[in-house]
Amino acid sequence: MDALAALSLQIAWGADEALDEQPIDRTRPAPVAPVPARLAQAAAVAAAPVPRQNVVARANAVAEAACTLDELRAALAGFTDCPLAATATNLVFADGNPAAGLVLVGEAPGAEEDLSGRPFVGASGQFLDRMLASIGLDRSKYLITNLIPWRPPGNRAPTDAEVLMCLPFLQRHLTLLRPRIVVTLGALSTHALTGTDIGIRKLRGKWRDLPGHDPSPRLLPMLHPAYLLRTPGAKRDAWADLLTLKRALDLG
């Protein structure tokens, strides 16, 4: 029973992924085997972290080289520099209609998205579907994607380094899609795309420009559906933002 209780506590804390094939007993001191100096040196070089700027520069180069959406998806699938790629089950690229002119950008996949390879299919995705249906939108009328295309283990927040190395792929995605309107869902994608760090409660519902794209889409930050599920009082603001979006879509 103690072991069961310890396991449920770990799950409640978000440690719900086995990252290795074999369990590791971290309570035992590791055996110290003598390692030849040459091998130790080579291992240290291989294990040294690649400087962050190099990874971001590489992400930029790989993303820029993709000329179609299929090439971009393949480029991401082969981009193993991001540590999240190693722990995720599937790459979660996008869902919906690439030609719709409306793109929604979330944060990162959760457990259900990781298993299915499709964004926003879990509880917050189903809630978002209902919100969008209320203004006449289904997935044939927009494309939905995420800033981070791999699930962070245990749904932890992505690190700044992970955001920086995934952002070039999102920017390239938007360049290839050429949308008229981009809706960012939540603070993470809003901050990453606009470069501001003002709180999402202040940014939501107000149109902004998205620099660096030609033609330049209009960007509308909205509250994340997972936040709305936790904070029912914020649904009123979300409804106002949906109406703002609908007015822009109706104007064409």
95 binds ligand URA (CB under 6 A): no
142 binds ligand URA (CB under 6 A): no
x/- binding map, residues 195-234, to ligand URA, per CB under 6 A?
Answer: -------------------------------x--------
107 binds ligand URA (CB under 6 A): yes
Nearer to ligand URA, 227 or 239 (CB): 227
Which of 76, 124, 149, 191 is in the footprint of ligand URA by CB under 6 A? 124
Strand order in the sheet with 218-222: 94-96, 143-146, 102-106, 181-185, 218-222, 208-209
108 binds ligand URA (CB under 6 A): yes
125 binds ligand URA (CB under 6 A): yes
* Nearest in space to 144 (alpha carbons), one of 165, 126, 164: 126
* Nearest in space to 141 (alpha carbons), one of 183, 179, 101: 101
Nearer to ligand URA, 60 or 89 (CB): 89
Nearest distance in Å: CB 10, ligand URA: 22
* Whole-number Å distance between alpha carbons of 89 and 151: 8
Nearer to ligand URA, 9 or 157 (CB): 157
Nearest distance in Å: CB 64, ligand URA: 25
Which of 96, 106, 153, 221 is in the footprint of ligand URA by CB under 6 A? 106
Q: Tell me if 90 sits within 8 A of 116, measured CB to CB.
A: yes
Nearer to ligand URA, 58 or 154 (CB): 154
Which of 96, 109, 152, 179 is in the footprint of ligand URA by CB under 6 A? 109
The tally of CA atoms less than 13 A away on the side-chain side of residue 102 is 16
Instruction: Give start and end residues of each alpha helix (H) in the chain.
Output: 2-12, 37-47, 52-64, 69-77, 84-87, 111-116, 123-133, 160-177, 187-194, 200-203, 225-230, 235-251
- Residue 13, sorted as left (phi over 0), alpha (psi -120 to 50) or beta, turns out to be alpha
Chain residues in the site for ligand URA (CB under 6 A): 106-110, 113, 119-120, 122, 124-125, 146, 226
